[in-house]
Amino acid sequence: MTDGNGPSCGQQSEKEKRFMTKLKLLVTLVGIAALLAGIAAVQWFIPNERAAAQASRAAPPRVVSVEVTSAVRKQSPVVIEGLGTVTPLASVAVRARIDSEIIGIHFTDGATVKKGDLLVSLDKRALEAEMRQAQAQLARDQAQLDGAMRDVRRFTALVARKSTPQINLDNARTQADVYRAAIGASQATIDNLKVRLSYCTIRAPIAGRISQANVKVGNLVRTADAQPIATINQIAPVYVSFTVPQHSLPQVRQALARGKTPVEVVVPGEDRRARGAVSMIENAVDTRTGMATIRATMPNEDELLWPGTLVTARVTLRSEEAVAVPAVAVKVSQQGTFVYVVDDEVARMRPVEVARRQDGEAVLATGLDGGEMVVIDGHLRLNDGVRVSPRAVQQPNGRKAGT
């Protein structure tokens, strides 16, 4: 029966049965196809795997080309480094000691000056006029003293003959003393003016490099000026002040107690090195940073060090025998540091302990005895036990490593 709007329930069920039958048939065919593909793959893979295994057994073992050098037992310096700054041995701000006008600048900006060189001349005409006035006053006082002394001699003779009272002689002596004191005051005024006149000629109190002149000819300078006329820095010799951790301080003190402690200073951008010696250790460690300040004196005859420059100071504490290898030979793994040692053209991993690194070398505490050939290039393809083809690198002395 139908209701006039669609197929009957029996017809719908018959279509579903046919659909399910086709679906099962399709799944069966897909499964069969997959099984056949797997069988074919297995048949193809097994012969190829066997062929690869045979080829592997037939191929010679892998040989890695590496560069090697010899581990050297030698005297190696124990060095500590610290950042520091160059400071002048002495620094003088050139200032006027009287209020006057500059009438001459006798130095070139940035020039080297010697102690006693004339730097600046100030106007001294007013002081010279005062000097002449004081000298005239001194002459007048001297003339008055001479007159008073004549009165003393005359009254002395008259008193001896009882021709005049004693009071006249006493007054004459008093007047002579007044003129004598006036002469002393005039002489002191002259001496003071001589000192002030010397201030009109400013000379270099130390030898060194002078800065640019902050004021030029024609300017009025005063003793109260905040800005100096120029500044002289003594830079031969100079100081280098640097800091080291407090745990290194005992070693530095021991080295200083043994005698001269050499210091090498590295200047950024310079191939040359400045050399000097430790001159003092600050008497306290900075509690905020835990760093101790050390000062070295550098001759600096070639003026390599310039005041204010940030430098690296290297202090040689002592020299001790140890095995050294190029720093590139030392590698790091999860088990620690190691090197590859070549023995009978086979690379072997050898654990080592690095005491310190300096100048491109690693100084070893343990691991090598010296004389071993270590790999310095070609590590990426190496494993423990890999055969290698070593090439000895050229040493700075022209010899090959290990020869």
DSSP state of 290: T
Q: Do domains 65-76+321-392 and 99-210 have the same CATH topology?
A: no
Q: Hey, how many other C-beta atoms are within 10 angstroms of the C-beta on 263? A: 24
Sequence-distant (6+) residues with CB within 8 A of 398 are none
CA 97 vs CA 9, 200, 202, 229: distances in Å: 126, 8, 9, 11
Give the residue extent of every domain in the chain.
65-76+321-392, 80-87+235-320, 99-210
- Write the CATH number of the domain with boundaries 65-76+321-392: 2.40.420.20
Three-state secondary-structure class, residue 77: strand
Stated as kind and residue range, the H or E segment containing 107 is: none
The pTM of this model reads 0.65
Instruction: State the helix-helix crossing angle for 125-160 and 166-198, rounded to 10 degrees.
Output: 160
Show the tokens assigned to 61. 């073992």
Pick the CATH number of 80-87+235-320 from 3.90.1150.10, 2.60.40.1250, 1.25.40.10, 2.40.30.170: 2.40.30.170
Superfamily of domain 99-210: Helix hairpin bin (1.10.287.470)
- Contacts of residue 340, Cβ cutoff 8 Å, sequence gap at least 6: 66, 329, 331, 347, 348, 349, 350, 374, 375, 379, 382
| Cβ-contact 232, 205 below 8 angstroms | yes
- Residue 12: CB atoms within 10 A of its CB come to 10
Beta bridge pairs of residue 120:
105, 202
Residue with tokens 């001479």: 146
Q: How far apart are CA 64 and CA 42, in angstroms?
A: 36
- Plot region of 199 (φ>0 → left; ψ -120 to 50 → alpha; else → beta): alpha
Cα separation, 145 vs 182, in Å, equals 9
CA 144 to chain centre: 71
Burial class from Cβ neighbours inside 10 Å (0-12, 13-18, 19+) for residue 76 reads buried
Q: Are the CB atoms for 288 and 49 separated by under 8 Å?
A: no
Start-to-end CA distance of the chain, whole Å, equals: 110
Q: Are strands 72-94 and 310-326 parallel, antiparallel or unpaired?
A: antiparallel
Question: Tens of pLDDT along the chain (403 residues)?
Answer: 444 444 444 555 677 777 777 777 777 777 777 777 766 655 554 555 555 455 455 455 678 888 999 999 988 888 899 999 999 999 999 999 999 999 999 999 999 999 999 999 999 999 999 999 999 999 999 999 999 999 999 989 998 888 889 999 899 999 999 999 999 999 999 999 999 999 999 999 999 999 999 999 999 999 999 999 999 999 999 999 999 999 999 999 999 998 889 999 999 988 899 999 999 999 999 999 999 999 999 999 999 999 999 999 999 998 888 899 999 999 998 889 999 999 888 888 999 999 888 888 889 988 888 888 999 998 888 888 888 888 887 554 444 444 4
Q: What gap in Å lies between CA 179 and CA 185, rounded to an integer?
A: 10
Tokens 């001896």 — which residue? 160
Q: Is the peptide bond before 61 cis (omega within 30 degrees of 0)?
A: no
How is 3-26 classified by DSSP, letter by letter? -SSS--HHHHHHHHHHHHHHHHHH
Q: Pick the closest to residue 273 from 243, 295, 242, 305 (CA basis).
A: 305
Nearest-CA neighbor of 88 among 255, 241, 307?
307
Q: How many CB atoms lie within 10 A of CB 208?
A: 23
How far apart are the C-alpha atoms of 362 and 325, rounded to whole Å? 5
